[in-house]
């Protein structure tokens, strides 16, 4: 496979609305399509093929010079006229492999992701800490980019992002944007975040809360009147609070708990489910908007486990929702199957109880519809007409030649 052959493979992935590309020496490429990993009908990737791909992906000459020593490396690159890609290069049985994530060239909007109105209200708060949580591949980056895009389109502010690697590229609208990548532009999240406070930001996006120093500085930014967005690899609001507190020393945890209670504005947790209509995936969301009751749950470790109950009770007041409330609506609307909803539910009994309320909640407009009118939040890669995926890459290559 030469350089053009690699680009053709990337183009085929984009054409078929693939989310991830797997490259392992000795095996054919594989595409993740609508949640499933499917082998591509193409020749097995060789070590020489991997070198061709790496030369196109890695832009840092210093990394390329010692690529034979690399065991793990994260980065991003763009193919002009195609799209951007985030990648991880890794060593597998002493050979280099890579996983690539496709990043659409167009930044998704809250509208085309079908996000509920409460996310616009959260994005308009302009103070405090907002956390996007969920497993890898749950759509956190897309939702976060859409919220930044909403601020960019509606408010005259300075938005500063610190990412590793840089994903969506935002075009200035009403706001001014500074996008920094760990590695090429700054050494660490914590160091860049510390400098950010001297760069007159209104909105700060930190790619991930990875360590006590980053969390501490992010809280300081929120305390001084900034709005800070970030991500955490946790399942829901209660576990997110527990994770952030647990990274600190025991003697510091009480103070961190209080600071979180004072500054956390909202958490948005996501789980992706397959749609019934075969048109990709849809995000079920838990949305916690902090009010007085939830603040008390954050302050008191014995009450933190009750957060889910307070999110459910405060839905009409805050616009938030539990996973089980949203799943019940998605199932009642026919968007997901009962099996998928039960599998994703936090509590099967709560989910069943919410079924009796779901129809009225959907009709009351608790969430926006997707572009295809099915309701809920779907990744930007979903859409009409993508239910059939052609994966015979070798055959397509032959036609193209």
95-100 average pLDDT score: 96
Domain with CATH 3.40.50.300 in the chain: 117-363
Could you read off the pLDDT of 339-379 as tens digits, one per residue?
999 999 888 877 877 776 665 554 444 443 333 333 333 33
Distance (Å, whole) CA 150 – CA 203: 12
328-335 average pLDDT score: 92
pLDDT given at position 388: 35
Distance (Å, whole) CA 54 – CA 70: 11
Distance (Å, whole) CA 253 – CA 244: 9
Topology (CATH level 3) of domain 117-363: Rossmann fold (3.40.50)
Q: Is the pLDDT at 401 greater than 70, yes or no?
A: no
Alpha-carbon dihedral sign for residues 188, 194, 197, 199 = negative
CATH of segment(s) 3-104+384-400: 3.30.450.90
Closest Cα partner for 137 from 9, 231, 13?
A: 231
Residues 146/109, Cβ–Cβ less than 8 Å: yes
Q: Is the pLDDT at 35 greater than 90, yes or no?
A: no
pLDDT given at position 389: 42
121-129 average pLDDT score: 95
Could you read off the pLDDT of 128-156 as tens digits, one per residue?
999 999 998 899 999 999 999 999 999 99
Domain with CATH 3.30.450.90 in the chain: 3-104+384-400
pTM of the model: 0.82
Could you read off the pLDDT of 298-328 as tens digits, one per residue?
999 999 999 999 999 999 999 999 999 999 9
Least confident stretch, 20-34, 256-270, 346-360, 375-389? 375-389
Burial 233-264 (b: 16+ CB within 10 A, else e): bbbbbbbbbebbbebbeeeeeeebbebbbbbb
Q: Is the pLDDT at 394 greater than 80, yes or no?
A: no
Burial of 225 (0-12, 13-18, 19+ CB in 10 A): exposed
pLDDT given at position 187: 87
pLDDT given at position 392: 58
């Amino acid at each position: 496979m030469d350089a053009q052959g690699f680009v053709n493979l990337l183009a085929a992935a984009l054409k078929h609305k693939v989310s991830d590309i797997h490259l392992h020496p000795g095996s054919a490429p594989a595409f993740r399509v609508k949640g499933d990993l499917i082998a591509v009908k193409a020749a097995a990737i060789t070590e020489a093929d991997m070198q061709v791909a790496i030369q196109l992906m890695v832009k840092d000459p210093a990394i390329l010079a010692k690529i034979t020593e690399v065991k793990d490396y994260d980065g991003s690159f763009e193919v002009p006229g195609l799209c951007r890609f985030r990648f991880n290069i890794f060593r597998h049985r002493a050979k280099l492999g890579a996983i690539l994530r496709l990043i659409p060239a167009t930044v998704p909007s809250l509208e085309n992701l079908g996000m509920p109105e409460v996310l616009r209200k959260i994005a308009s708060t302009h103070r405090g800490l907002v956390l996007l949580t969920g497993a890898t591949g749950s759509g956190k980056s897309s939702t976060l980019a859409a919220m930044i895009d909403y601020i960019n389109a509606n408010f005259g502010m300075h938005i500063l992002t610190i990412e590793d690697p840089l994903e969506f590229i935002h075009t200035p609208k009403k706001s001014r944007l500074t996008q920094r990548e760990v590695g090429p532009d700054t050494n660490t999240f914590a160091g860049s975040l510390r400098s950010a406070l001297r760069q007159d930001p209104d909105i700060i996006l930190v790619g991930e809360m990875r360590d006590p120093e980053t969390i501490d500085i992010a809280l300081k930014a929120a305390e001084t009147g900034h709005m800070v967005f970030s991500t955490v690899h946790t399942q829901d609001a209660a576990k997110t609070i527990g994770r952030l507190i647990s990274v600190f020393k025991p003697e510091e945890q009480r103070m961190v708990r209080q600071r979180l209670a004072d500054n956390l504005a909202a958490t948005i947790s996501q789980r992706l489910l397959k749609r019934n209509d075969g048109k990709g995936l849809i995000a079920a969301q838990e949305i916690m908007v902090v009010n007085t009751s939830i603040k008390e749950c954050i302050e008191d470790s014995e009450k933190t486990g009750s957060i889910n109950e307070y999110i459910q009770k405060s839905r009409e007041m805050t616009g938030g929702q539990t996973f089980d409330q949203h799943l019940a609506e998605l199932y009642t609307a026919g968007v997901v199957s009962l099996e998928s909803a039960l599998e994703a539910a936090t509590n099967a009994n709560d989910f069943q109880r919410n079924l009796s309320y779901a129809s009225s909640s959907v009709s009351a407009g608790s969430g926006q519809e997707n572009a295809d009118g099915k309701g809920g939040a779907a990744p930007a890669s979903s859409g009409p007409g993508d239910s059939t995926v052609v994966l015979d890459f070798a055959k397509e290559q032959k036609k193209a030649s």
